[in-house]
Amino acid sequence: MMKVGRLAISFDEEDLEGTIQPHDDALVVTAQISDFLVKRVMINQGSGADVMYPDLCEGLELKNQDLVKYDTPLISFDGRVVIPKCQISLSVNMEGKEVMVTFIVVRLFSPYTAILGRPWIHAMKVVPFTLHMKVKFPTEDGVAVVWGNKGVARQCLVAAVRWKGEPSGQKETTEGTTL
């Protein structure tokens, strides 16, 4: 159990209802990012960054002037060093609670559209629990619950396993911060 202010956030056997056990699926949710409903968003406690992939940038119709240069190296899932080109701050809303998130735009293949990592988790005071396929967090009205989507998580896993592309999925980029 975790206490956030006066609220206690906990998980119990009832939270397992509707899940198939055992599993090791990623926690994949839908989130409202910059007024768009975005599917295939992975919640990842192991990520020290909030990450957006080019498909989402294109879907949000972001312009080059919206992007800020960013060139601090990141380590990808497969252990390779990736040099992102840009970042952008956008609002992320779940269940009416909204925070600003600075996404690092990474030009890699990913079956996910975005990863919400520790910066978002801490800003929202989220308690993610992959076993229960849920995140819980405090709101003005109590504790909000967002369910992960096991079917989408499995589809993402299959897509990642089947993908055959360039090493690390990196593609040639144009100059500047162009996506």
With bands split at pLDDT 50, 70 and 90, how would you rate the model's confidence at 179?
Answer: very low
User: What mean pLDDT, rounded, does the chain reach?
Assistant: 84
Distance CA 7, CA 88 (A): 32
The C-alpha torsion from 125 through 129 and 134 to 135, rounded to 10°, is: 0
Distance CA 107, CA 178 (A): 11
- Reply yes or no on whether the pLDDT at 87 is more than 70: yes
Q: Find all residues with CB under 8 Å of 45, minimum gap 6, and list them.
A: 117, 118, 121, 128
- Reply yes or no on whether the pLDDT at 170 is more than 50: no
Which tens digit of pLDDT belongs to each residue from 5-44? 667 888 888 888 777 777 778 899 999 999 899 999 999 9
Which tens digit of pLDDT belongs to each residue from 38-69? 999 999 998 999 999 988 988 998 888 889 99
Which tens digit of pLDDT belongs to each residue from 110-141? 899 999 999 999 999 999 988 888 999 999 88
Domains defined along the chain, listed by start = 23-168 (2.40.70.10)
Distance CA 15, CA 27 (A): 14
- Reply yes or no on whether the pLDDT at 175 is more than 60: no
Which tens digit of pLDDT belongs to each residue from 88-100? 999 999 999 999 9
